[in-house]
């Protein structure tokens, strides 16, 4: 089986679209339709993950290293990293939807799965996009069904409010991005991300328009990523949306956004006539996002708002690697994006099960929940500790690479690493605070609560990934390193070789003990 690079994303999208249409038809079959929809969507996500892995290994095609002017998509290691991350999140969310929406009729739950699959199609096309117009179309394909998912609880005013806020802010950011795209086309006459570089090298005289386009791109991307100072809508949207949808929004859609951010800002602008100082830009955004996200989370009494502000802080950590640049920096960012997908989605899904049973997302309602549930509190604890950077969970290793990239950066970013370490210690306070409420504080009730099979399977799978990739992070580091090498067109980078040696040494020490 051999699929050409330009057809590969379309092939996956077509399979998932066919599954979504079948799910819509299945909704007419009766009460069991929601279980059929869950099985179909799960099979589709697993198939897509397997196909991406096979493609990366060369069994169904070859890795595309240099997309041409006519290529709408870039099928490279960067796409594989982000594609697998968003598919894992969609898979975890899909496993829980039947149980989470158990109070809804089967047809409504089936509709949820169709919308989930359509959102996933948009995220996949977005991470593979190598054309600015294709990027915008994919963005809208991702966003439109996610608006509906955010307001899926039609009778809940908070869910409706969250959907409206998300729609207004997202539509504004799309308009800003589209204007930036139009300026780039005005200057270069091209929409291919990689061809704009060649067209832009001789446009020094039009630099003011180029910087205006850059401003629109940074603002649009910042709103999509919820980076400070474009973060205001996130807490209300995540708190009002169904909690499993918040898991999707905070990981899949945000993670998918980093792919075009890296392609557009590092390729289109960094190597053309418009060359901003990305080190300083990303360093400032990183510090602002980490600091505001973590310190704001300290003041919250709602678990979903804590996780929302935590997602802002985590975006700041990812931007450390973008500020540091080079292979080591990008390796850290790619590695942390993979880990973040499982850590944050696991935290939101575990919180979703607890909130559904206790009826509130207030911290006090989590008191003593560790004695009433078996899996959910443990999964939430693991994910929170991983987000905080506790060894030997996976979040520790990706933060280690990110901090190391800042210390070793040629731009002297040691100060950024120190700020990030301080913020990590600050974040531990509110992560451990949730754990304290679950296991040490006494609750008002002591009756055991039922954990449904869908939630248990999803949380056990996510927790297993967190622990396994923490104990043995080597393959993921290598995967991220290859993606960084592919993106930078470099072979055998010294910094990455060095960081892998550090990991090998630490693992050998742990095994001897």
Q: How would you label 63-97 residue by residue, b for 16+ Cβ within 10 Å and e otherwise?
A: bbeebeeebbbbbbbbbbbbbbbbbbbbbbbbbbb
Q: Does 320 reside within a domain?
A: yes
Structure tokens at 404: 């190391």
Nearest to residue 363, comparing CAs of 293, 434, 427? 434
Q: Does 145 reside within a domain?
A: no
Nearest to residue 389, comparing CAs of 470, 472, 493, 305? 470
- Please say whether the dihedral angle defined by the alpha carbons of residues 271, 274, 275 and 277, taken in this order, is positive or negative: negative
**Whether 69 contacts 199, CB under 8 Å:** no
* Distance, CA of 75 to CA of 83 (rounded, Å): 10
pLDDT of residue 424: 92
Give the phi and the psi of residue 354 in degrees, each rounded to 5. -65, -45
pLDDT of residue 272: 44
| Cβ neighbours around 436 below 10 Å, total | 13
pLDDT of residue 505: 41
Give every CB contact of residue 362 below 8 A, 6+ residues apart in sequence. Answer: 301, 302, 303
pLDDT of residue 433: 92
Q: Does 433 reside within a domain?
A: yes
Q: Does 105 reside within a domain?
A: no
Structure tokens at 324: 């540091």
* Distance, CA of 496 to CA of 478 (rounded, Å): 9
Q: Does 122 reside within a domain?
A: no
* Distance, CA of 454 to CA of 470 (rounded, Å): 24
Q: Does 303 reside within a domain?
A: yes
Q: Does 259 reside within a domain?
A: no
* Distance, CA of 284 to CA of 290 (rounded, Å): 10
DSSP β-bridge partners for residue 192: 131
Residue 415: strand, helix, or coil: helix
Over its length of 513 residues, how does the chain's per-residue pLDDT go in tens digits?
666 667 788 889 999 999 999 998 887 776 678 888 899 999 999 999 999 888 888 777 666 556 655 677 888 888 888 899 999 999 999 999 888 887 765 557 888 999 999 999 999 999 998 888 888 899 889 988 988 898 888 888 888 888 888 888 888 888 888 888 888 888 777 787 777 666 554 444 456 777 777 778 878 887 777 777 777 777 888 888 888 998 998 888 888 888 888 888 777 655 444 445 567 878 888 899 899 989 999 988 889 999 999 988 898 899 898 888 778 888 899 999 999 999 999 999 999 999 988 888 888 888 888 888 888 899 999 999 999 988 889 889 999 999 998 898 877 888 999 999 999 999 999 999 999 998 888 877 777 777 888 899 999 999 999 999 999 888 888 888 888 887 776 333 333 334 434 444 443 444 444
pLDDT of residue 107: 55
pLDDT of residue 423: 93
Residue position matching structure tokens 């998509």:
73
* Domain with 393 in it: 278-513
Alpha helices for 359-488 (secondary structure H): 376-388, 394-407, 414-439, 453-471, 474-488
Q: Does 230 reside within a domain?
A: no
**Whether 170 contacts 108, CB under 8 Å:** no
Domain count for the chain: 1
pLDDT of residue 503: 40
Q: What is the pTM of this model?
A: 0.87
């Amino acid at each position: 089986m051999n699929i050409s690079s330009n057809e590969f994303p379309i092939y996956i999208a077509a399979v998932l679209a066919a599954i979504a249409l079948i799910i819509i038809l299945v909704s007419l079959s009766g009460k069991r339709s929601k279980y059929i929809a869950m099985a179909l969507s799960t099979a589709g996500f697993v198939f897509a993950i397997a196909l991406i892995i096979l493609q990366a290994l060369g069994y169904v095609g070859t890795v595309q290293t240099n997309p041409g002017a006519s290529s709408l998509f870039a099928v490279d290691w960067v796409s594989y990293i982000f594609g697998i991350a968003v598919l894992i999140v969609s898979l975890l969310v899909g496993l829980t939807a039947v149980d989470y929406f158990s109070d809804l009729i089967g047809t409504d739950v089936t509709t949820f799965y169709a919308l989930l699959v359509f959102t996933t199609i948009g995220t996949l096309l977005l991470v593979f996009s190598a054309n600015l117009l294709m990027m915008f179309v994919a963005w809208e394909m991702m966003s439109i069904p996610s608006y509906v998912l955010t307001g899926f609880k039609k009778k809940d005013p908070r869910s409706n409010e969250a959907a409206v806020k998300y729609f207004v802010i997202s539509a504004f950011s799309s308009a800003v991005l589209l204007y930036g795209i139009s300026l780039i086309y005005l200057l270069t006459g091209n929409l291919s991300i990689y061809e704009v570089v060649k067209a832009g090298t001789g446009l020094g005289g039009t630099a003011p328009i180029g910087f205006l386009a850059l401003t629109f791109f940074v603002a649009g991307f910042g709103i999509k990523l919820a980076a400070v100072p474009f973060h205001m809508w996130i807490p209300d949207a995540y708190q009002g949306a169904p909690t499993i949808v918040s898991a999707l929004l905070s990981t899949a859609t945000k993670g998918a956004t980093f792919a075009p951010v890296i392609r557009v800002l590092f390729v289109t602008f960094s190597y053309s006539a418009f060359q901003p100082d990305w080190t300083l830009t990303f360093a400032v955004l990183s510090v602002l996002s980490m600091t505001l996200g973590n310190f704001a989370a300290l003041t919250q009494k709602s678990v979903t708002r804590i996780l929302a502000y935590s997602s802002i802080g985590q975006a700041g950590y990812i931007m450390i690697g973008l500020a540091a640049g080079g292979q080591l920096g990008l390796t850290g960012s790619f590695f942390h994006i993979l880990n973040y997908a499982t850590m944050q989605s696991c935290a939101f899904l575990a919180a979703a099960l607890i909130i559904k049973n206790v009826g509130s997302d207030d911290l006090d309602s989590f008191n003593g929940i560790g004695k009433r549930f078996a899996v959910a509190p443990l999964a939430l604890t693991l994910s929170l500790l991983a987000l905080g950077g506790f060894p030997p969970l996976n979040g520790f290793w990706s933060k280690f690479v990110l901090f190391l990239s800042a210390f070793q950066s040629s731009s002297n970013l040691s100060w950024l690493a120190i700020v990030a370490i301080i913020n990590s210690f600050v974040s531990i306070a509110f992560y451990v605070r949730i754990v304290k409420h679950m296991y040490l504080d006494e609750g008002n009730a002591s009756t055991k609560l039922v954990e449904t099979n869908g939630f248990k399977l999803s949380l056990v799978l996510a927790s297993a990934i967190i622990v396994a990739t923490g104990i043995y992070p080597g393959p993921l580091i290598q995967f991220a390193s290859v993606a960084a090498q592919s993106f930078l067109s470099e072979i055998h980078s010294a910094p990455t070789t060095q960081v892998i040696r550090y990991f090998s040494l630490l693992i050998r020490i742990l095994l001897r003990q």
